[in-house]
Chain A
Amino acid sequence: EAAVTQSPRSKVAVTGGKVTLSCHQTNNHDYMYWYRQDTGHGLRLIHYSYVADSTEKGDIPDGYKASRPSQENFSLILELASLSQTAVYFCASRGVYAEQFFGPGTRLTVL
């Protein structure tokens, strides 16, 4: 099974501050994804990437940027964190048959 790790596992940020969430995968998967999970909304796709140095917008990209500096690493960047971005963030990578594997999640609280 694909190994996907995330850091930090939890973070408290102040409104207006910059937050960077990191994701690392070790199985040479081409596709990587960032989702957020909120009570009542399930999981929603923020950004994804299918190759290094390229990112694509998902369903809810506003307020987020993404960076894919290498095949293994995919970051989610909140330039100006807001209260509404308090959520749990999950990174995932895609295997050969479109099956996705998820990291442990990062719990972000914006105060």
Chain B
Amino acid sequence: GQQVQQSPPASLVLQEGENAELQCTYSTTLNSMQWFYQRPGGRLVSLLYSPSWAEQRGGRLTSSAASNESRSSLHISSSQITDSGTYLCAYASSSFSKLVFGQGTSLSVVP
């Protein structure tokens, strides 16, 4: 079935100020994709949404993907302690925009 693999696969620890790159690989050609942020027990907050061919920017966040690749990336620049949480990617692959989610990457930013 459709699968989404995230890397780093489980967790990532950064020192404050470092940059991070999170990646998602998909089992099929990219349609549209969406990145989410979630605090423990919290709601999923949409960070960036883009069709497969578009780079999206939002503050210190940039997502990129290629229409001919089954991969997308989320770049976090100048990480802050408040960036700590879980980052999930998801792609839409059907006419009703079903989202298929990755397992998530837990990011911890330490002083």
Q: Give residues in A with beta carbon < 8 Å to B.
A: 1, 31, 33, 40-45, 48, 50, 56, 58, 88, 90, 92, 94, 97-105, 107
Q: Which residues of B contact A (CB under 8 A)?
A: 32, 34, 36, 41-46, 49, 51, 88, 90, 92, 96-99, 101-104
* Contacting residues, chain A, for B104 (C-beta < 8 A): 42
* Dominant SS among interface residues on chain A: strand
> By the criterion CB–CB under 8 Å, are B44 and A102 in contact?
yes
Query: Is B43 a contact partner of A43 (Cβ separation < 8 A)?
Result: no
CA distance A50 to B88 in the complex (A): 24
Q: Cα distance A75–B99 when bound, in Å?
A: 19
The answer to whether A31 and B88 have CB atoms under 8 Å apart is no
CA distance in complex: A9, B46 (Å) = 20
Least Cβ distance of A102 to chain B in Å? 4
Contacts A43-B88, A48-B96, A50-B96; A99 near B46 (Cβ below 8 A):
yes
Can you list 25 A-B pairs with a CB-CB distance of less than 8 A? Answer: A33-B99, A40-B103, A42-B88, A42-B101, A42-B102, A42-B103, A43-B44, A43-B88, A43-B101, A44-B101, A48-B96, A50-B96, A56-B96, A88-B41, A90-B43, A92-B44, A94-B97, A97-B49, A98-B32, A98-B92, A99-B46, A101-B46, A102-B43, A104-B42, A104-B43
- A92–B34 CA distance with the chains assembled, in angstroms: 13
Which of chain A's residues have a CB closer than 8 A to the CB of B51?
97
Shortest beta-carbon distance from B10 to chain A in Å: 11
Q: Decide if A100 touches B88 in the complex (CB within 8 Å).
A: no
- When A and B form their complex, which 4 residue pairs have the shortest distance between CB atoms, in order from nearest? A99-B49, A98-B97, A102-B44, A42-B101
Contacts of A92 in B (CB 8 A): 44, 99
Contact A31 B43 (CB under 8 A): no
Contact B34 A100 (CB under 8 A): yes
Smallest CB gap from A99: residue in B = B49
Residues of B within 8 A of A41 (CB): 103
- A53–B19 Cα distance when bound, in Å, is 47
CA distance A101 to B99 in the complex (A): 11
- When C-beta atoms are compared, the residue in chain B nearest to A107 turns out to be B41
